[in-house]
Amino acid sequence: RLLDLILHRQVKRLVLTHRDRLLRFGAELVFALCEKQGVEVVVIHQTDPPAFEEELAQDVLEIITEFSARLYGRRSHKARKLIEVLKSDHAESGGEVAPAP
Protein backbone atom coordinates (compact mmCIF):
# COMPACT_ATOMS: atom_id res chain seq x y z
CA ARG A 1 0.00 0.00 0.00
CA LEU A 2 2.77 2.45 0.91
CA LEU A 3 4.60 1.71 -2.34
CA ASP A 4 1.43 2.41 -4.35
CA LEU A 5 1.01 5.76 -2.60
CA ILE A 6 4.64 6.67 -3.28
CA LEU A 7 4.46 5.58 -6.92
CA HIS A 8 1.29 7.62 -7.48
CA ARG A 9 2.91 10.65 -5.84
CA GLN A 10 0.31 10.76 -3.07
CA VAL A 11 2.98 11.01 -0.37
CA LYS A 12 5.06 14.15 0.12
CA ARG A 13 6.89 13.18 3.30
CA LEU A 14 7.63 9.85 5.00
CA VAL A 15 8.35 10.25 8.73
CA LEU A 16 10.03 7.40 10.62
CA THR A 17 11.02 7.17 14.28
CA HIS A 18 14.09 5.08 13.38
CA ARG A 19 15.62 4.30 10.00
CA ASP A 20 15.27 0.54 10.47
CA ARG A 21 11.54 0.65 11.36
CA LEU A 22 10.25 0.84 7.80
CA LEU A 23 11.08 -2.71 6.74
CA ARG A 24 12.86 -5.66 8.21
CA PHE A 25 14.92 -6.06 5.09
CA GLY A 26 15.43 -3.95 1.96
CA ALA A 27 14.48 -0.51 3.26
CA GLU A 28 17.16 1.07 1.08
CA LEU A 29 15.08 0.20 -1.98
CA VAL A 30 12.11 2.14 -0.59
CA PHE A 31 14.38 5.07 0.30
CA ALA A 32 15.72 5.10 -3.28
CA LEU A 33 12.16 5.01 -4.63
CA CYS A 34 11.23 7.92 -2.37
CA GLU A 35 14.18 9.90 -3.68
CA LYS A 36 13.19 9.22 -7.32
CA GLN A 37 9.57 10.23 -6.64
CA GLY A 38 10.51 13.36 -4.71
CA VAL A 39 9.29 12.07 -1.34
CA GLU A 40 11.11 13.58 1.63
CA VAL A 41 12.20 10.95 4.18
CA VAL A 42 12.48 12.25 7.75
CA VAL A 43 14.10 10.06 10.41
CA ILE A 44 13.44 11.42 13.90
CA HIS A 45 16.01 9.42 15.88
CA GLN A 46 19.17 9.48 13.79
CA THR A 47 22.00 7.10 14.67
CA ASP A 48 25.43 6.56 13.21
CA PRO A 49 25.31 4.14 10.31
CA PRO A 50 26.51 0.66 11.32
CA ALA A 51 29.74 -0.78 9.99
CA PHE A 52 29.37 -3.06 6.97
CA GLU A 53 30.00 -6.18 9.07
CA GLU A 54 27.42 -5.15 11.69
CA GLU A 55 24.82 -4.44 9.04
CA LEU A 56 25.51 -7.74 7.29
CA ALA A 57 25.26 -9.67 10.57
CA GLN A 58 21.98 -7.90 11.41
CA ASP A 59 20.56 -8.70 7.96
CA VAL A 60 21.48 -12.39 8.32
CA LEU A 61 19.86 -12.54 11.77
CA GLU A 62 16.69 -10.92 10.44
CA ILE A 63 16.48 -13.42 7.58
CA ILE A 64 16.97 -16.36 9.96
CA THR A 65 14.35 -14.94 12.33
CA GLU A 66 11.83 -14.49 9.51
CA PHE A 67 12.24 -17.99 8.11
CA SER A 68 12.23 -19.68 11.52
CA ALA A 69 9.00 -17.83 12.38
CA ARG A 70 7.45 -19.09 9.14
CA LEU A 71 8.64 -22.63 9.81
CA TYR A 72 7.25 -22.72 13.34
CA GLY A 73 4.06 -21.05 12.17
CA ARG A 74 3.49 -23.84 9.64
CA ARG A 75 4.10 -26.49 12.27
CA SER A 76 1.65 -24.75 14.59
CA HIS A 77 -0.96 -24.54 11.83
CA LYS A 78 -0.60 -28.26 11.04
CA ALA A 79 -0.93 -29.17 14.72
CA ARG A 80 -4.09 -27.05 15.13
CA LYS A 81 -5.61 -28.60 12.03
CA LEU A 82 -4.85 -32.12 13.29
CA ILE A 83 -6.44 -31.32 16.65
CA GLU A 84 -9.58 -30.02 14.90
CA VAL A 85 -9.83 -33.21 12.81
CA LEU A 86 -9.38 -35.40 15.88
CA LYS A 87 -12.01 -33.46 17.82
CA SER A 88 -14.41 -33.71 14.89
CA ASP A 89 -13.83 -37.47 14.55
CA HIS A 90 -14.24 -37.89 18.30
CA ALA A 91 -17.54 -36.00 18.28
CA GLU A 92 -18.84 -37.95 15.26
CA SER A 93 -18.07 -41.27 16.94
CA GLY A 94 -20.18 -40.27 19.91
CA GLY A 95 -17.18 -39.73 22.13
CA GLU A 96 -16.06 -43.36 21.92
CA VAL A 97 -12.40 -44.20 21.61
CA ALA A 98 -11.55 -46.79 18.99
CA PRO A 99 -9.46 -49.74 20.21
CA ALA A 100 -5.82 -49.80 19.21
CA PRO A 101 -5.02 -52.22 16.35
Could you list the mean pLDDT of each consecutive 10-residue stretch along the chain, which spans 101 residues?
93 91 82 96 86 87 86 80 80 64 56
- The contacts of residue 22 (CB under 8 Å, 6+ apart) are 14, 16, 30, 31
**What is the model's pLDDT at position 77?**
78
| Max Cα–Cα distance, the chain, nearest Å | 71
Rounded Cα distance, 91 and 30, in Å:
52
Q: Quick check: pTM over 0.85?
A: no
CA 98 to chain centre: 43
pLDDT score for 95 = 62
In the prediction, which pLDDT does 72 show?
A: 81
What's the confidence (pLDDT) of residue 101? 56
